[in-house]
Chains A and B, each alone.
Chain A
Amino acid sequence: MPNTPLLRGVWGCVYQTRPFIFLIFHLHIEERQVFNLNTILVNITENIYRMKNKSLVSINDIQKEQYQEILDLAEKFEENPTQDILNKYVVATLFFEPSTRTRLSFESAASRLGAKVIGFTDAATSSVKKGESLKDTILTVSNYSDIIVMRHPKEGSARYASEVSPVPIINAGDGANQHPTQCLLDLYSIRKTQGRLDNINIAFVGDLKYGRTVHSLAIALTNFNTTFHLVSPEELKLPSSVKRYIKQKGLKYYQYSELEEVIPSVDILYMTRIQQERFSDPLEFERVKNAYILRKTHLKYSKKNLKVLHPLPRINEITEDVDSDPKAYYFQQAQNGVYVRQALLATILGA
């Protein structure tokens, strides 16, 4: 290696900050068993360390190794949710359209890490109503905060915000496009209930055409040798753009029109809401809406390890008698969202 002053300087910087980097990650993993400490450390520095100060816009921006590590970290937060590691940080939650569930989940995650939360809950109460552009709002708020969590009705808004913002952006839903933290909490719920992410048989039920959570999760799962069972009415089938990912990985998918057919063979039953406005013919909606309702009787013929997931809110697609069944997991799933969001805030802020 040529021993130039420049190279010596660069190496000096890296060398000097090394204990500091070690310290940062050591804080997260100190409770982990000793035998895999070193591997975790190496992986973390290589994989999720790259997410520090970076925006999280789309699930497609994260690699397989990073999923695993975010979930590992979320597990740590589940064991010990209140950790005062972000007390010097301000998290802005900008909800250009209301989403109480997601916003509260983020704010809960930030609060448990000691961060201060600022923001607005609805574009009607913000300067957006006065005609301010998204760019201006982001540039202004970035002066007041260290990270911005945003929900916006327009697709691509989070990507655009991440390009103009000097602070990292976490996408909490951009129109019908992406909602990566939902996807990660779904993965977390699958791994937690099944003990693994590999070789899962998953059924997606309901609106597979417009449901962004289904699209993101399906795409993420193509990294884990998943078999897909797709249950939907003809007009709400999974789009070919998503099937392309499944085909590219050479994975299997099966399509069904009846919910009953699929229940005995799957590990995860991912239910979604069918929205009336998706149908041009209201009679057609009436015909299909009751075809995809999960009842407690259905679960009699299911596998022992089956868990029912749902991104919520639920309307009528899961009857309430399912709630008390140990296979119902949708409320815990929502709770897992807090741990995953803690992991993301901590990773991106690098605390």
Chain B
Amino acid sequence: MSVNETRKELKVSAIENGTVIDHIPADAVFQVINILNLNNIRNQLMVGTNLDSKKLDKKGIIKVSNKYFEKDEINKIALIAPTASLIVIKDFTVVYKENVEIPNSVDKIVKCINPNCITNHEKVPTQFSVVDKDDLSLLCHYCEKTTKKENFSFI
């Protein structure tokens, strides 16, 4: 199968080398871009959202050329896009594919729900450990209070 044939089927064009993050819930695409700090990146970046998907009904996809993520980094997006998968492309070929996993710790991206927590009053980057992966909840390293998934707000 040539590259050109593949391209016809894709709504977002293929990349030669880089990373594809697929199966992102459509409403989480821009949050994922923020969390991975892709809004400041100089590499080629292609974003598609509200694409049809068998798995998700509507999905988003992000393709970044010549950029590879550390596992910890990509796992951050598991908080908002637990269905996402990470695909590493080299020379138009998939060399690696993996679903994201909820990490053991979450730094800097989620706000602590406790209004009296020091992180909401001074310039302190937040740090959490994940205490429950099924019913996602985060324990604040500072105030020791728990923030649950339904209360997540992203910095």
A69 to B112, CA, bound (A): 35
Do A135 and B117 touch (CB < 8 A)? no
Does B146 make an interface contact (CB < 8 A)?
yes
Do B116 and A58 touch (CB < 8 A)? no
Task: Report A-chain residues with C-beta under 8 Å of the C-beta of B117.
Answer: 154-156
Do B121 and A154 touch (CB < 8 A)? yes
Task: Report B-chain residues with C-beta under 8 Å of the C-beta of A155.
Answer: 114, 116-118, 142-145
Do A160 and B144 touch (CB < 8 A)? no
Q: Nearest CB to that of A159 among chain B residues?
A: B142
Q: Interface range on chain B: under 10, 10 to 19, 20 to 34, or 35 or more?
A: 10 to 19
- How far apart are A173's CB and chain B's nearest CB, in angstroms? 13
Does A177 make an interface contact (CB < 8 A)?
yes
Q: Given A156-B144, A175-B143, A241-B146, A133–B123 Cβ distance below 8 Å?
A: yes
Do B116 and A153 touch (CB < 8 A)? yes
Q: From the candidates A135, A157, A178, name the one contacting B144 in the complex (CB within 8 A).
A: A178
As a 0/1 sequence over residues 131 to 144 of chain B, the CB contacts with chain A under 8 angstroms (1 = contact) are 00000000011111
Does B147 make an interface contact (CB < 8 A)?
no
Does A29 make an interface contact (CB < 8 A)?
no
Q: From the candidates A58, A135, A175, name the one contacting B122 in the complex (CB within 8 A).
A: A135
- How far apart are B116's CB and chain A's nearest CB, in angstroms? 5
Q: From the candidates B114, B122, B145, B146, name the one contacting A160 in the complex (CB within 8 A).
A: B122
| Secondary structure of the B contact surface, majority rule | loop
- How far apart are B105's CB and chain A's nearest CB, in angstroms? 15
Task: Report A-chain residues with C-beta under 8 Å of the C-beta of B143.
Answer: 154-156, 174-175, 177
A3 to B155, CA, bound (A): 52
Do B118 and A58 touch (CB < 8 A)? no
Task: Report A-chain residues with C-beta under 8 Å of the C-beta of B112.
Answer: 156
- How far apart are B125's CB and chain A's nearest CB, in angstroms? 10
Do B122 and A133 touch (CB < 8 A)? yes
Do B123 and A156 touch (CB < 8 A)? no
B112, B118, B142: most-surrounded residue (chain A CB, <10 A): B118
A155, A174, A241: most-surrounded residue (chain B CB, <10 A): A155
Do A160 and B124 touch (CB < 8 A)? yes
- How far apart are B55's CB and chain A's nearest CB, in angstroms? 35
Query: Besides the contacts A133-B123, A134-B122, A156-B140, what 7 more A-B pairs have beta carbons closer than 8 Å?
Result: A58-B144, A133-B122, A155-B144, A157-B142, A159-B118, A160-B119, A174-B118
